[in-house]
Structure 1
Amino acid sequence: MTTSASAKYVADFKVWRGNQEGGGLEDYRVAVNEGEVVLDIIHRLQATQVPDLAVRWNCKAGKCGSCSAEINGRPRLLCMTRMSTFTPSETITVTPLRAFPVVRDLVTDVSFNYAKAREVPAFVPPEGVEPGAYRMQQMDVERSQEFRKCIECFLCQDTCHVVRDHEENKESFAGPRFLMRIAELDMHPLDAAHEAGLDRKRTAQEEHGLGLCNITKCCTEVCPENIRITDNALIPLKERAADRKYDPLVWLGNRIRRRPAGRTE
């Protein structure tokens, strides 16, 4: 390894190399310059030592979500993790997202997330209201706007232990990113899903695994957009789903609405 005269120091890195058949950590020493992020170092490794190192990235500005990986065991964006957060003597370990299958090196197959996205029914427009005529109060706009900041880096999906530690849950559990999407639609004042026969609270519970979430807030902790996934989406959705299913007044109201005309009990 050669270092430039402007290099601030040389760091020790352990980077996972391999594919779906297996692999392991390999040691590297690489120059670090002032102001750099971990993605800069990975690019320097590609340029100077391991040109076949696979890594997914795009914007390098924390807005595309492409460069998700695990740094010292914590899900992070490579482009938003500054080298200044580590000491020069610290060994930095970079591994692929653990919850998803490895394609090669730091690149994982995140198609699970796109499959789950397709399972969430889209916004249902209110009948008789043209798109240009939609009106919402500002507080409703702000409430859903928080969730629209999601860049789909899938760090929350990766850190959620329901998916991370239990492969068998993937079929029945959408994960925090898509439960948050359901919560956003369910609280949207113009979503006419119920009128169309779609009960988002019921489907969240019965089809998307809302009950498996035990609100540990690990998804919130790794979100690079600082979305309060647990407090503002998952917990309120759980409360509404529980009210819908167990509140005796709601149960009675549903029974009355379902009773056939002319029938008495």
Structure 2
Amino acid sequence: MGGKRQFRVWRGDEQGGQLENYEVEVNEGEVVLDVIHRLQATDAPDLACRWNCKAGKCGSCSMEINGMPRLGCMTRMSTFDENETVTITPLRTFPIIRDLVTDVSFNYEKARETPAFAPPADLEPGEYRMQQVDVERSQEFRKCIECFLCQNTCHVVRDHEENKPEFSGPRFFIRAAELDMHPLDARTDRKEYAQAEQGLGYCNITKCCTEVCPEHIKITDNAIIPMKERVVDRRYDPIVWLGSKIFRRGQTDGSGTGARREETLGAVHSHAGHSHDPRAEAEAERGVNWHRQVPGPQRAAVDARGRLPISEFAFDRPAAPSPFGDDVKFPLPTDSLNYAHPDQPSQQQD
């Protein structure tokens, strides 16, 4: 319903400020950002507020509304009681510039520190091939609009300014997780980097970042927890550690008995990287993955006309086990598939 509503808006700069009271007209269907624009047009023309798309896709209008980190353009006034005073404050984790605008350069510094995607050396752009299950596994994390609400609500940096140099935050943990599960990424030390350089160990998975994500990314369950599990996987598993001490797996005594013992215990296969090299697999069993070479992906199997066979879509097994559970149903019904790969040129055009 329309009418006058009470608002408290933080006004000030890096030197300090205070909450000021305003009475603003609110119309049916409006969001908090509409109210801020009307406030700028009437009582507070010098009110600073960052915004861009007003469609929940740019992440610019991040603020705290009644103490909850939210996007101003996605928070409807109808969610508040008509007699409720709506309090609008800037993001508290980052330094104030003026009014509702904060300095979020911390996040861009962490973005520059994060190693970029490393393409496979033996493939050219246009030759990349991925299974659909691999695409879907990391696609969730590509929805991030970099509103930095997850960074703002994370208590590791919100309550402890001294943690910022060593802690990248949930936004960049999902970036590390995305690249770690990407089958075309050539780097094999993503999880080790997340632990040693990004401060993954500081996170105690309170899930506050997931709660405030406007894109509903399951940051904790689908990115941070699987990354933590992969970090401590075999290296800190007490059963594996004890077994390695008893059977001395992967060790040789110069007479070759170690190799024979490996054969007796059975071949080890690590799904992470699909390596079939016995030495690399033995290292993976002991948790030593620094030098393991991950083979590049294979070209898609096409016929003489450059068309994908229907079996590529109806195969009854996904490409690799998912850390989120087997939520992909195979095979797909063949009668509903109608796909023809476009004719491919005989050689890559420059």
Counterpart of 1:202 in structure 2: which amino acid?
E
User: Which residue of structure 2 aligns with residue 215 of structure 1?
Assistant: 205
Deviations 1:162-189 (A, max 9, x none): 0110000000000000011001100101
Q: 1:253 to 1:152 in 2, by over 3 A?
A: closer
Structure 1 window deviating more from structure 2 (239-248 vs 44-53): it is 239-248
For 1:215 and 1:123, the matched residues in 2 are separated by: 26
User: Which residue of structure 1 aligns with residue 16 of structure 2?
Assistant: 22
One of 126, 134, 139 as aligned partner of 1:132 = 126
Check if 1:175 corresponds to 2:169.
yes
For 2:51 and 2:100, the matched residues in 1 are separated by: 10
- 8 Å CA contact 1:136–1:189 kept in 2: the answer is yes
User: Which residue of structure 2 aligns with residue 84 of structure 1?
Assistant: 78
Counterpart of 1:144 in structure 2: which amino acid?
S
State the aligned residue count: 247
SS at match of 2:233: helix
- 8 Å CA contact 1:75–1:159 kept in 2: the answer is yes
Deviations 1:60-109 (A, max 9, x none): 00000000000000000000000000011000000000000000000000
Structure 1 window deviating more from structure 2 (126-135 vs 215-224): it is 126-135
Aligned-pair distance for 1:244? 5.3
Instruction: Please state which structure has a larger fraction of its residues in helix.
Output: 1
Counterpart of 1:204 in structure 2: which amino acid?
A
For 2:18 and 2:105, the matched residues in 1 are separated by: 23
Counterpart of 2:186 in structure 1: which amino acid?
A
**Which has the greater radius of gyration?**
2
Matching of residues 93-112 of structure 1 within 5 Å: 93-112=87-106
- 8 Å CA contact 2:235–2:287 kept in 1: the answer is no
- 8 Å CA contact 1:10–1:88 kept in 2: the answer is no
Runs of 4+ displaced beyond 6 Å = none
One of 46, 54, 60 as aligned partner of 1:52 = 46
- 8 Å CA contact 1:201–1:244 kept in 2: the answer is no
Counterpart of 2:231 in structure 1: which amino acid?
A
Instruction: Name the TM-score, length of structure 1 as normaliser.
Output: 0.90
Aligned-pair distance for 1:200? 1.1
Check if 1:254 corresponds to 2:310.
no
Deviations 1:172-231 (A, max 9, x none): 00000001100110010111112xxxx111111111000000111000000000000000
SS at match of 2:126: helix
User: Which residue of structure 1 aligns with residue 30 of structure 2?
Assistant: 36
Check if 1:62 corresponds to 2:56.
yes
Aligned-pair distance for 1:59? 0.2
Counterpart of 2:80 in structure 1: which amino acid?
F
Counterpart of 1:226 in structure 2: which amino acid?
H
For 2:158 and 2:228, the matched residues in 1 are separated by: 21
- 8 Å CA contact 1:101–1:109 kept in 2: the answer is yes
Aligned-pair distance for 1:143? 1.2
For 1:253 and 1:108, the matched residues in 2 are separated by: 43
User: Which runs of no fewer than 5 residues in structure 1 stay unpaired?
Assistant: 1-6, 259-265
For 2:226 and 2:96, the matched residues in 1 are separated by: 34
For 1:131 and 1:169, the matched residues in 2 are separated by: 39
- 8 Å CA contact 1:68–1:77 kept in 2: the answer is yes
Report the identity percentage: 73
For 2:30 and 2:93, the matched residues in 1 are separated by: 27
One of 200, 208, 211 as aligned partner of 2:190 = 200
Structural RMSD (CA) = 1.6
User: Which residue of structure 2 aligns with residue 230 of structure 1?
Assistant: 220
For 1:203 and 1:74, the matched residues in 2 are separated by: 32
- 8 Å CA contact 1:70–1:95 kept in 2: the answer is yes
SS at match of 2:18: strand
Check if 1:187 corresponds to 2:181.
yes
Counterpart of 1:53 in structure 2: which amino acid?
L
- 8 Å CA contact 1:201–1:241 kept in 2: the answer is yes
Deviations 1:31-63 (A, max 9, x none): 000000000000000001000000000000000
Structure with the larger RCO, 1 or 2 (CA within 8 Å, 6+ apart) = 1
User: Which residue of structure 1 aligns with residue 144 of structure 2?
Assistant: 150
SS at match of 1:100: coil
Aligned-pair distance for 1:131? 1.7
Counterpart of 1:227 in structure 2: which amino acid?
I
Structure 1 window deviating more from structure 2 (122-131 vs 147-156): it is 122-131
